[in-house]
Homo-oligomer: A and B are copies of this chain.
Amino acid sequence: MNIIVQKYGGSSVADTDKIKKIAEKISKRVNEKLKLVIVVSAMGKTTDNLIKMSKEISANPEPRELDMLLTTGEQVSISLLSIALNEIGVKSVSLNAFQAEILTTNDFNEARIIDIKTDKIHSLFEENDVIIVAGFQGITNEGDVTTLGRGGSDTSAVAIAAALKAKCEIYSDVDGIYTVDPRLHPKAKKLKYVAYDEMLEMASLGAKVLHSRSVEIAKKYGITLYCAATFSNEEGSYVMEENIEQPLVTGLSVMDNQTQVVITNLPVDYTFVNKIFQSAANENLNIDMISVIGNGSSLNISFTIIDDKKAKIDEALARLSKDYGEYNVHYYSGFSKISVVGVGMRSSSGVAAKFFKAMGGIPVKLVTTSEIKISALVEEAHKLEAVKSLTDIFEL
């Protein structure tokens, strides 16, 4: 049995006309004698609207009940898509998470998939050509409904593909993965191949094509992902183990609204450094571009946060300061983080030199590197200049 898993995002099922179009698209694949598992997100802004209603009632909705609420969005889209497929003569059936037996942890709102039973899917394929599974949701061993966090439908699709050892196609309103966000650099090229590791670095940097957890699972189980636009026949991008084309740098990504936090004159005491990051983690603050520089009798620390988290990190640091002596905290807001990513960096030298050459006279506030990535913090005023210069030098 030749099974393909396809996932359609919320904008692809935003209204009943689009749902009918997707049904037509799916029926063409059925005619190729394929069996399909379709994972869909909630229609358009449904999830946002459900969250809005819950917030009208409670600033902090009970997490279990919030998941009970949010999972209705996907149940609406799977049943409508199944109605559309049956209407055009394609035998299909929709399954929510408890029916598809997508077992998760009981971490409501951010559950992780533990196991997916495939018996039911296999037996339903005896009488159906298409099985539509609700994305984003799962079920605990106790029968409670969970969600996988925003963007979790990608994760659902890849995990089901892994369980079925099937290919996985992710359709959205973006027609593939680009070297650079085309809105920043109109000449950006579409990538035919991207390695898992590159995608992981790019996803966490804001390339919103794929949820990073889904790429982690694809990497773990060796599932090739195909990302393309829902309503287009143009070829998309493949995410796989190795980047067949092996360019030095595969892509460039940009994150705006970065605040640099600089703490100077700290005692040389790493338990305190640890406490800073621990207290940020307790507040769910995402800290990035961490750099710690010892300077004889004192330590300087620098890291970045999203601009609108400045007040929160300031409170956290103020609470810590009671226990520790004098130190200075400075905030510099309005920066952009620009990163270049490529598995080719592993085996090539001179990438950093090329990077700084491209940056030319642009003042760089902070630089961090990983094995396959270099990131620099620049003022937003210099962003486009840096993007142009980097895409030129790395031929993106």
Contacts and interface: CB of A to CB of B under 8 A. Distances in A.
Interface of A: 16-17, 19-20, 50, 53-54, 56-58, 61-62, 64-66, 68-69, 71-72, 75-76, 78-80, 82-84, 86-87, 93-94, 96, 98-99, 143-145
A93 B72 contact: no
Instruction: Give the number of copies in the complex.
Output: 2
Give chain A's interface secondary structure class. Answer: helix
Given A56-B16, A68-B96, A98-B98, A50 B76 contact: yes
Most buried by B among A68, A69, A94: A68
Contact of A69 (B57, B65, B76, B93): B76
Contacts of A50: 76
Contacts of A19: 57
B143 A98 contact: yes
Contact of A82 (B68, B79, B87): B68
Nearest to A132: B65
A86 to B, nearest CB: 4
Given A96-B68, A99-B143, A58 B84 contact: yes
Contacts of A20: 57
Nearest 3 A/B pairs, CB to CB: A69-B79, A68-B79, A72-B72
Contact of A87 (B58, B78, B96): B58
Given A62-B86, A83-B62, A143-B99, A68 B75 contact: yes
A39 to B, nearest CB: 15
